[in-house]
Amino acid sequence: MTFTAIITGFQKAALLLGFVVIGLISAASVQAQETPASTNPKTEIKSSLTDLSNLYKSEVERLEKRHAQSQQLFNDGLISRVELEKGDKELADARAKVEQVTNEIAAVNQPASLPEVVSNLVAAGNQVWSTGNVKIDNLIRLYGGQYGVDPFLIYCTMAQESSFTAGVTSPKGAQGLMQLMPGTAARYGVTNPYDAAQSIKGGTRYLKDLLTMFNGRVDLALAGYNAGEGAVMKFGNTIPPYSETRNYVKLILKRYSTKKPVS
């Protein structure tokens, strides 16, 4: 083999090695682009609460402008004090909502509460539950802990109500993950029933009130959630004789009465 042939062979080998290295770098770059960043559950919750806070702040700004106009109309004798005080109350309620969400964001920022709020781990040997969406799972744990409602009960109720579909609307007009009727949503300050955080918070508060109303009776609370608390009371604090309601309670209790996970 001549010297020129040897040099040519080295050049070809170097060129081939260069192609291989470039190929490996390109593959690594593509893989890095295709691999999604790990989701931080704590960040997910803060983001959802921040969106809710911004919504409430916008409402406060709107009411403040309206209140200033009402104050001027009152000073000019064009509206009554009753109307002015009604506006005062609406503004105070809106500000209270902003403060409440601010406190919830602060609570999420507390390291000590993090395991209770965002941990997806359960004790060995217990059943694992998940909606398939880490953000929704953690919102269930957050509001369940905040209002003293078993997160697994919220999960079971949501499974029956919406199958974890945030944008669903029932033929009767119930909306969102927790399928809140417009009147119930308004009662609990839910302005967007299709927002996951608002829906779960409103539905959890409603479940809490029903459990309190019926002395911790899960079956009656579920019946009230489906048919309304008035129907439960109408039939002497028993499950109303409606086939839909009885089937609803039966299906949720069947799932809820299985070996429950530690949440």
Residues known to be catalytic: 161
How many angstroms separate the CA atoms of 176 and 221, rounded? Answer: 19
Task: Pick left, alpha or beta for residue 170 (phi over 0 → left; psi -120 to 50 → alpha; otherwise beta).
Answer: beta
How many angstroms separate the CA atoms of 247 and 160, rounded? Answer: 11
**CB atoms near residue 166 (< 10 Å):** 17
How many angstroms separate the CA atoms of 177 and 155, rounded? Answer: 10
What 3-state class would DSSP assign to 175?
strand
CB 179 within 8 A of CB 161: yes
Residues 6+ apart with CB under 8 A from 223: 231, 232, 239, 240, 245, 248, 249
How many angstroms separate the CA atoms of 191 and 52, rounded? Answer: 9
How many angstroms separate the CA atoms of 59 and 195, rounded? Answer: 16
How many angstroms separate the CA atoms of 102 and 60, rounded? Answer: 14
